Chains A and B, each alone.
Chain A
Amino acid sequence: MTLLENPPEASAPDRPVKANWFRLLLADPAAFVSALILLLVAFVAVFGKRLAGDSAVTGDLSLSRLAPFSLDHGWQYVLGGDLLGRSLLGRLMVATQTTMSVVVPVVLISLVIGASVGMWAGYHRGWRETVAMRIADVVYSFPSLLMAVVVLYIFSPSIASIIAILAITRIPVYLRTARAESAELQTRLFVDAARTFGTPSGAIIRRHIFPIVLPTLLTVATVDFCYVMLAESSLSFLGIGVQPPDVSWGLMVAQGRDQLRTQWWLSVLPGLAIVITTVSANLLASWVRIATDPGQRWRLTTPRRRRRAARPTVLETT
């Protein structure tokens, strides 16, 4: 939270009345680059398998252990080859698809379930709130990996069971956020007004509470995207996540581990892909946090020169 003692004048002439989202994004170069990187990741996740073609599946043994950063064997081998002469870049692109096909469903499922139950519990208060929160506490107070370990032992690790277990462990995050906001919102006047008109509670939650909670939930989801990605790659790295012949970034780091002495890139580069993606998502999340908060949006809309002048009056309180 930021407390402004002296906010810059809101009606400065050179400032657009309503800043659009694209301009807000351009105002933060780091967030802009992050958004581009995430778009690239999304593009590769969708089309990567087609682009990589055969080079990711059938190896050319003459290119085995090819060192990275040379264009001699075509763009596919720019990141080198693995033990079987498969292109590392091609495998990375295929892995993007697997990783995203775990991470995106997990984030969506936990967001939808957590947000609906959380808003419902916060709106009604009473026993519904207590029961929902107790269950969330139990799930949350336990290390997620420990739970995943037991479940993935009993149900053999498949993409569906990884999605299920990761989604369950992440639901409490959204549930808590949604409940807190909705419990506060349901005491407000406009909700009272809707109630007086006889609006059913489901419609109030959908029409009046959901739109206000959504920005917060999206910020949480962006940060959680990183968490889920790290969790998926940890499981795959440990051998209880994505299983060969499927390939994910975490699994690639694990597979390259034995060749660390001779071919460091097999392990180091897939990990770097994870880091670049998570850093981008985190930077974008901090932009979303500022852009959706009317109290802080001036940081993006005010020109840098004036911003610097305004900065000393900002008192950070957390």
Chain B
Amino acid sequence: MIREERGAGEQTVEERASGRLAGTAIRDEFGLETLDMNMGPQHPAMHGLLRLILQLDGETVVRCDPVMGYLHRSKEKISENRMYPAVVPITDRIDYMNNIAMEYGYCMAVEDLLEAEIPPRADAIRALLNELGRIMSHIPSIGFLLLELGAFTPILYAFRERERIQDMFEAITGARMMFHYIRIGGVKSDLPEGMPERMWEYVESLEERLNPDFIDLIEGNEIFVARTRNVGKITQEKAVEMGLTGPPLRCTGVSYDVRRDYTYGWYKNLDFNVITDEAGDVEASYRVRIGEVRESIRMIKQILEALPEGEVMADLGRRIRPPEGDGFGRAESARGEYAVHVVSDGSDTPYRVHYRTPCTVNMQLLQEIVPGHYLPDIMPIMGLIDPVSGAWDK
């Protein structure tokens, strides 16, 4: 039996993941044993379906093996069997907290393949909704961080904001979550009557509410600071080495943002800052997210001030059949760099689609930085990464 022959340390992650939990290992001269604990996949704080195999020494985590794949829905394989425009609704379901960025990345990849020109109004609307989507994702993620620290109220305030943005999305796209709005060559339809004014009004009111409802409630709280400061500390080198992107990278001080460094769409016309922080802990990631919400509000205002007129859909013909070759699109989703690689063999359906979701990459952090922390620190670290089950499993 594996249990008897080998100690806990010698088993590979796969062996442990396959359900053969390691036996307890003796830790010190007092003969104290570690405790193996299985957290998830059904667990209130696991952001969906994540299983963590933990080895605990009292409350301290000695070892943490994340096991992914409980929400695998073969997105990449399904994409190969559908015609190009029909893949967009599939991408919607990858990161279900920030769907619009997922559509955006895929459409950019196919447009790269087709070398299509996008009408400026469509570009502006895409950027507009993308930033709105970022607010819609960042504010609940702050709420989730607090929820996992044990404060129940901020999540409800956060969902009030998300609800209002969803109402606007419903008016624009017809759906509350799975929009299918960004299409290859443009967007589905123009903004409805009065929407720019409504959006302006909303972001103004959000700017006012951001301080009393979120920052004042969260930031000054001693317990919040005690629970998040110096928790989940990552160094710049480590973050770059692991290929992190998005707020987990920017909170260590690396200024990297696809919107600026590999600018796309309407972003080249916008003036915005990339928010960074030095500390590289959970509190810093919270500050980065709040800062990004503010930047998004600024960007939305800029776009609304100079919204170009014209068509919203390029004429690409009824049937999209790109030439042989490959297309690449990358977008900054709320969680980091999202990239799509589409390979075409000249037929109606893509030959291969690969989605590089930020969550999958950022999740490496768990294995790296959780050991040494206390068990309850796993929750704020999850809040730092802010993964989405659908995005890491695809």
A binds B: no
- Interface, chain B (partner A; CB < 8 A): none
- Interface, chain A (partner B; CB < 8 A): none
